[in-house]
């Protein structure tokens, strides 16, 4: 059995992290007896009820294996093949899902908008909707927002309301990619309802994976009319887990005692510590304001290479900057070791 190299540590991704203890224990409890299949079990009912309680509304809840499927199937349920979905040019649905949303919707087109710090602006949405209205162009039907964004920023409740205003004017439904929704709630310190259905979000893909599960995303329809026949869509797409309790029980583990929020707060706090430690180090600069659990930073090439040689793993992307991502399992000591290595490298060069 391969062991991780003992001298390798990572800020590569929050999905490099393992399963948090609370989710693991819930999985163990779910394994004590047989239960009905295909989501007819008590765990799945309980997890869905807990999500309804968390959002304080009567929403429809489904569980799928991963984020690409959650986004693709949710977007497919919003429109027809001749529709289009407006998203930011850096959106995961555009850059990292291999055309999944287009495939699931049989061809709905993504229209790419812009805005600083990974956030769509109302003007950009307005422009995309109004630049064409003829029969030859796919009709805009949905607005997809990533909360928190791909570059570690968040939409404030006011920003969401402004986007909702444009969306309502143009009859766009709002999809939210919540791969790091928990981190956004923690950062904004708001009730989850404030940045979802109260801000006009129709469907949310709420990630458990990046928050501390092995796998499993909740697709939450606040606009329940859009959920019509969604379970058939999931089944056809190979996203209906027969032993669904092994997705939903760990979700209960996350939701009990607000573990999801504690995990997100911890990840955000680690990133904040990293950000503070990196501030003021010569040659190191932040690319985006850090608001959640990722620090996007420009590091000199030789420093990147030296850090990697010391065993640190992290990705470079989005314009070539380094992304340092924290999770529930990141420790302060690990952050401090990384900062120590960075400072050591700077000192050596002087
Ligand atoms: C990780 C991530 C997803 C989901 O990715 P999967 O690998 O399909 O689970 C979706 N959106 C964003 C912004 C992500 O970072």
The answer as to whether 6 is a domain residue is no
* Predicted confidence (pLDDT) per residue in 264-285, tens digit: 999 999 999 999 999 989 999 9
Q: What is the mean pLDDT of residues 282-303?
A: 96
Same domain membership, residue 242 and residue 123: yes
Q: Whose CA is nearest to atom 5 of ligand 1?
A: 67
The answer as to whether 73 is a domain residue is yes
Same domain membership, residue 315 and residue 210: no
The answer as to whether 14 is a domain residue is no
**Res 319: pLDDT:** 82
Residue 146 near ligand 1, beta carbon < 6 Å: yes
Residue 179 near ligand 1, beta carbon < 6 Å: yes
Asked if pLDDT for residue 2 goes beyond 80, the answer is no
Quote the ligand 1 centre to 340 CA distance (angstroms): 31
Same domain membership, residue 237 and residue 273: no
Same domain membership, residue 312 and residue 170: no
Q: Which helix (H) or strand (E) holds 57?
A: none
Residue 94 near ligand 1, beta carbon < 6 Å: no
Residue 68 near ligand 1, beta carbon < 6 Å: yes
Same domain membership, residue 267 and residue 249: no
Mean pLDDT score of the chain, rounded to an integer?
96
The answer as to whether 13 is a domain residue is no
**Res 320: pLDDT:** 85
Domain end marker among 227, 257, 287: 257
Looking from the CA of residue 177, the nearest atom of ligand 1 is: 11
Same domain membership, residue 29 and residue 133: yes
Quote the ligand 1 centre to 67 CA distance (angstroms): 5
The answer as to whether 8 is a domain residue is no
Q: What is the mean pLDDT of residues 198-220?
A: 98
Q: How far apart (Å, rounded) are the C-alpha atoms in residues 297 and 151? A: 11
The answer as to whether 289 is a domain residue is yes
Same domain membership, residue 269 and residue 226: no
Same domain membership, residue 237 and residue 278: no
**Res 7: pLDDT:** 62
Q: What is the mean pLDDT of residues 28-44?
A: 97
Number of structural domains in the chain: 2
CB neighbours (10 Å) of residue 32?
7
For residue 126, give the nearest of 79, 170, 171, 175 by alpha carbon. 170
Same domain membership, residue 220 and residue 125: yes
CATH number of the domain residue 197 falls in: 3.40.640.10
Q: Whose CA is nearest to atom 3 of ligand 1?
A: 67
**Res 349: pLDDT:** 78
**Which pLDDT band, with edges at 50, 70 and 90, does 318 fall under?**
confident
Same domain membership, residue 286 and residue 187: no
**Res 1: pLDDT:** 52
Segments forming the whole domain that contains residue 208: 21-257
Q: What is the mean pLDDT of residues 146-156?
A: 98
**Res 77: pLDDT:** 98
* Predicted confidence (pLDDT) per residue in 125-139, tens digit: 999 999 999 999 999
CATH number of the domain residue 309 falls in: 3.90.1150.10
User: Residue 35 contacts by C-beta under 8 Å, 6 or more apart in sequence?
Assistant: 41, 42, 43, 245
Q: Whose CA is nearest to atom 1 of ligand 1?
A: 179
CA 322 to chain centre: 19
* Predicted confidence (pLDDT) per residue in 84-125, tens digit: 999 999 999 999 999 999 999 999 999 999 999 999 999 999
Domain end marker among 226, 257, 288: 257
CA 141 to chain centre: 22
**Which pLDDT band, with edges at 50, 70 and 90, does 3 fall under?**
low
**Which pLDDT band, with edges at 50, 70 and 90, does 326 fall under?**
very high
Query: Pocket of ligand 1, candidates 66, 67, 89, 292: which has the most ligand atoms within 8 Å of its Cβ, to mutate?
Result: 67
The answer as to whether 300 is a domain residue is yes
In the chain, pLDDT over 70 holds for what percent of residues? 98
Same domain membership, residue 278 and residue 251: no
């Amino acid at each position: 059995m391969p062991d991780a190299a003992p001298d390798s540590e990572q800020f590569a991704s929050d999905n490099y992290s393992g399963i948090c203890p609370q989710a693991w224990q819930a999985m163990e409890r779910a394994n004590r007896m047989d239960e009905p299949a295909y989501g007819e079990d008590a765990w799945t009912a309980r997890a869905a009820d807990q999500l309804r309680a968390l959002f304080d509304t009567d929403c429809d809840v489904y569980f799928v294996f991963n984020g690409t499927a959650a986004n693709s199937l949710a977007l497919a349920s919003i429109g027809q093949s001749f529709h289009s979905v407006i998203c930011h040019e850096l959106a995961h649905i555009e850059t990292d899902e291999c055309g999944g949303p287009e495939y699931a919707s049989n061809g709905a087109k993504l229209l790419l908008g812009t805005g600083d710090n990974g956030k769509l602006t109302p003007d950009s949405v307005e422009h995309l909707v109004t630049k064409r209205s003829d029969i030859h162009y796919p009709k805009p039907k949905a607005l997809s927002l990533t909360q928190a964004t791909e570059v570690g920023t968040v939409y404030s409740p006011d920003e969401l309301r402004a986007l909702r205003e444009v969306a309502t004017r143009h009859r766009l439904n709002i999809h939210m990619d919540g791969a790091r929704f928990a981190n956004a709630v923690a950062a904004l310190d708001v009730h989850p309802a404030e940045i979802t259905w109260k801000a006009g979000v129709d469907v949310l893909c709420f990630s458990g994976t990046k928050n501390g599960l092995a796998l499993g995303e909740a697709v939450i329809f606040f606009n329940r009319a859009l959920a019509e026949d969604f379970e058939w869509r999931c089944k056809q797409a190979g996203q209906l887990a027969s032993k669904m309790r092994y997705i939903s029980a760990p979700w209960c583990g996350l939701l009990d005692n607000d573990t999801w929020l504690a995990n997100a707060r911890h990840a955000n706090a680690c990133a904040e510590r990293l950000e503070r430690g990196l501030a003021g180090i010569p040659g190191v600069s932040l690319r985006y304001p850090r608001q959640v659990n990722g620090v996007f930073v420009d590091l000199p090439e030789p420093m990147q290479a030296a850090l990697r040689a010391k065993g640190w793993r992290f990705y470079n992307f989005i314009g070539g900057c380094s992304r340092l991502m924290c999770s529930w399992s990141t420790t302060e000591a690990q952050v401090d070791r990384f900062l120590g290595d960075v400072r050591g490298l700077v000192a050596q060069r002087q």
